Structure formats: structure tokens, C-alpha cells
């Protein structure tokens, strides 16, 4: 299996994440035209942070994104920017959605974020354990 390694000036890393965020009240407002707009907004924001979106897809009430990051990226700031900017632009460009989401929030305040590995945790543990003095 090929392991994808990114490189910085003095580092090598592989940081991949799976992010899920739901629309407030799980309202089914992510119709195709809104989804396309949302994906473009997300790509623009990611570019400003030096983050690469690998995949992103929506259901009617949530979005899932797989992205690659650099070690210097502050993930909470990146995600908060994704949520706040996309919400503001969707409300601006699709004002009818605001009527379904009272209170001024587009996204639920919570989200899911996990690392995505290319190697199983058990394999890494076994490798580290094998590095002891023999």
C-alpha cells in the first residue's frame, strides 16, 4: 500500500481528517444548487488555510469532508471559519433558507472530527514496540 507523505521545510507528515457537520435542527435545506455553492465556498476557505479538500459530499441535512492539513493549521480555527463563512454566504445567496432556520444559525454548534489513517493503529503500535533495544 502506498502511504501518502506530505513534506514541509523540516518535516514529513500525513494529516488526514474526516469532518461532519449537521444543519441546525437537521433541516433538509442542502438542495443541489445550495450544495454546489457550499462546496465552492469550502474549497476557497481551505485554500486560504493551506488545506486540501480530498472529498466532500452532502446529504440534505449534513456535510462530510475529508481533508488534508499541514501541522501548522489550527483545526478549530479552520472549522469555525468553514462554518461561519459558509453560513453567512448561504444566508446571503439563499435568503429563503433563513426562514427555515430561525435564530440566525445555519450549522449545529457541534461537529465530528476524526483522523483518517492509512495504517491501522495496531500496526503502528506493533512497529513502535518492535523498536526497543534488542
Active-site residue, from 13, 25, 111, 127 = 127
Is 83 inside a domain boundary? yes
Q: What CA–CA distance (Å, rounded) separates 50 from 108?
A: 25
For residue 46, give the CATH number of its domain.
3.30.70.1290
Percent of the chain with pLDDT over 90: 77
Q: Is 13 one of the annotated active-site residues of the chain? A: no
Q: How confident is the model over 69-127, as pLDDT tens digits?
A: 999 999 999 999 999 999 999 999 999 999 899 888 999 999 999 999 888 888 888 88
30 three-class SS:
coil
Q: What is the pTM of this model?
A: 0.89
User: How many independent structural domains does the chain possess?
Assistant: 1
> Cell 461537529, residue?
111
Q: Is residue 43 part of a domain?
A: yes
Residue 114 domain boundaries: 6-129
Amino acid at each position: 500500500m502506498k502511504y501518502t507523505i506530505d513534506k514541509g521545510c523540516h518535516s514529513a507528515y500525513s494529516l488526514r481528517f474526516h469532518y461532519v457537520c449537521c444543519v441546525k435542527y437537521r433541516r433538509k435545506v442542502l438542495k443541489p444548487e445550495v450544495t454546489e455553492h457550499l462546496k465552492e465556498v469550502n474549497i476557497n476557505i481551505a485554500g486560504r488555510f493551506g488545506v486540501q479538500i480530498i472529498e466532500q459530499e452532502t446529504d440534505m441535512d449534513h456535510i462530510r469532508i475529508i481533508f488534508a492539513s499541514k501541522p501548522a493549521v489550527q483545526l478549530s480555527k479552520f472549522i469555525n471559519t468553514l462554518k461561519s463563512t459558509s453560513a453567512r454566504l448561504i444566508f446571503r445567496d439563499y435568503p429563503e433558507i433563513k426562514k427555515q432556520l430561525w435564530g440566525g444559525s445555519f450549522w449545529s454548534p457541534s461537529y465530528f472530527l476524526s483522523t483518517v489513517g492509512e495504517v491501522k493503529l495496531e500496526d503502528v503500535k506493533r512497529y513502535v514496540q518492535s523498536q526497543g533495544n534488542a
